[in-house]
């Protein structure tokens, strides 16, 4: 999704487009019940734990994919296979640094506006692979509709996400700007090891040897499920209709205005506390030009062409416009 302002070129793409007709719970009991599902290991405590770990201890491989040992240890990923989705779940998927936190904020605004509520966001992001086994079990106690998210490749998403046929929104961003944001994220987030150098991280990203695996494998796995609105108000309206969350035209415009990157950045200390400067950096299309050498740019162009040229996703990413 892109707007005429300073948002990055994130395209929300929808998967498993099954229609569901449900309404959000509106009772005080449900709101209380929702608030009683606490983040068992909050991001703050995990960051504190990371300070006592060596960089080489912060990542590990699980079924061939690199993950954070602090955020997604083996017992968490193994338990995740049992997680039961619901048909009315609101599910968000994005590769790291492709606009996940931004879209979470957009979805919460839509869900609050459609329900008439004004719920504060929970402390943790709704990434299921960050939930310890006990927290995963507590998900069954949460009232509908639940907002869940993941960075996972579809091969590693709980099977119920497909068998129960909830609606899934997938967000993408061009690979050059994704790589740059990911590089800075590695160097700012204490739960991840520092990138050794730009050239080393570039090489690791190109080969898929980064946390959550290959950008291109992730993109190709979702490529066939596309439907991309091309501006922010249209995108908000499209998303609300996709998830059966009715909004008035005034609500659409209000949410779009509050969802530009500049608005999110300005509010990041309130929405994410001390993590705001980690999750929101520039929101700038084309920042890759400040990092890539000519040789690296050509290498990315060749890999992109070999992996995604001619796909529907390639049309939506507008690679020629933003990356050449």
Bridge partner residues of 149 (DSSP): 92, 127
C-beta neighbour count of 280 within 10 angstroms: 20
Q: How far apart are CA 240 and CA 237, in angstroms?
A: 5
What's the pLDDT at 267?
59
The ranges assigned to domains in the chain are 10-323
H helix intervals, the chain:
28-35, 43-50, 74-80, 100-115, 133-138, 160-163, 175-188, 198-207, 215-222, 232-242, 249-258, 261-266, 268-272, 276-279, 294-308, 312-317, 319-323
What's the pLDDT at 102?
85
What's the pLDDT at 35?
31
- pTM of the predicted model as reported, rounded to 2 decimal places: 0.74
What's the pLDDT at 8?
36
Query: How much helix, strand and coil, in percent to the nearest 5, is found in the chain?
Result: 50, 10, 40
Q: Is 151 a catalytic residue?
A: yes
Q: How far apart are CA 273 and CA 186, in angstroms?
A: 19
Q: Which long-range contacts (CB under 8 A, 24 or more apart) does 76-83 make?
A: 76/129, 76/130, 76/131, 76/132, 76/133, 76/136, 77/129, 77/156, 79/133, 79/136, 80/128, 80/129, 80/131, 80/136, 80/158, 81/158, 81/159, 82/136, 82/158, 83/128, 83/136, 83/139, 83/158, 83/160
Q: How far apart are CA 23 and CA 31, in angstroms?
A: 14
Taking the alpha carbons at both ends of the chain, their separation in whole angstroms is 19
CATH topology of domain 10-323: Rossmann fold (3.40.50)
What's the pLDDT at 4?
30
* Lookup result for tokens 């491989």: 61
135 — phi, psi (to 5°)?
A: -65, -35
Q: 100 near 218, Cβ under 8 Å?
A: no
Cα–Cα distances (Å) from 262 to 1, 32, 165, 282, 318, in that order, read 15, 32, 35, 9, 22
* Lookup result for tokens 């869940």: 148
Which of 21, 52, 62, 151 is catalytic? The answer is 151
Structure tokens at 70: 């602090």
Tens-level pLDDT at each residue, the chain (324 residues): 433 333 333 333 433 333 222 222 233 333 333 333 334 445 667 777 888 899 999 999 999 999 999 999 999 999 999 999 999 999 999 999 998 988 888 898 899 898 887 777 665 568 999 999 999 999 889 888 899 999 999 899 999 998 898 988 888 899 999 999 999 999 988 889 999 899 999 999 999 999 999 999 999 888 765 554 445 567 888 888 888 898 898 898 888 777 676 666 665 555 445 554 555 555 567 789 999 999 999 999 999 999 999 888 888 888 988 898
């Amino acid at each position: 999704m892109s707007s005429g302002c300073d948002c990055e070129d994130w395209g929300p793409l929808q998967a498993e487009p099954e229609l569901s007709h449900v309404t959000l719970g509106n009772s005080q009991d449900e709101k209380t019940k929702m608030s009683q599902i606490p983040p068992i290991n909050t991001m703050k405590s995990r960051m504190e734990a990371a300070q006592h770990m060596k960089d080489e201890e912060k990542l590990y491989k699980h079924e061939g994919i690199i993950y954070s040992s602090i955020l997604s240890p083996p017992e968490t990923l193994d338990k995740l296979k049992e997680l039961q989705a619901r048909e009315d779940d609101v599910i968000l998927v994005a590769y790291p640094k492709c606009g996940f936190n931004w879209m979470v904020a957009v979805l919460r605004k839509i869900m609050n506006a459609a329900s008439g509520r004004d719920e504060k966001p929970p402390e943790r992001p709704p990434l299921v692979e960050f939930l310890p086994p006990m927290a995963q079990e507590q998900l069954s106690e949460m009232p509908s509709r639940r907002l869940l998210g993941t960075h996972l490749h579809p091969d590693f998403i709980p099977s119920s996400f497909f068998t129960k046929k909830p609606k899934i929104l997938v967000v993408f961003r061009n690979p050059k700007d994704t790589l740059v944001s990911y590089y800075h994220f590695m160097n700012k987030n204490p739960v991840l090891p520092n990138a050794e150098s730009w050239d080393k991280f570039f090489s690791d990203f190109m080969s898929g040897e980064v946390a959550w695996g290959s950008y291109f494998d992730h993109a190709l796995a979702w490529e066939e499920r596309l439907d991309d609105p091309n501006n922010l108000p249209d995108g908000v309206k499209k998303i609300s209709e996709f998830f059966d969350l009715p909004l008035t035209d005034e609500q659409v415009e209000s949410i779009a205005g509050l969802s530009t990157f500049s608005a999110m950045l300005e509010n990041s200390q309130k929405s994410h506390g001390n993590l705001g400067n980690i999750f929101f950096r520039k929101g700038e299309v084309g920042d890759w030009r400040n990092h890539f050498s000519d040789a690296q740019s050509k290498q990315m162009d060749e890999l992109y062409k070999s992996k995604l040229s001619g796909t529907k996703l390639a049309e939506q990413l507008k690679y020629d416009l933003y990356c050449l």
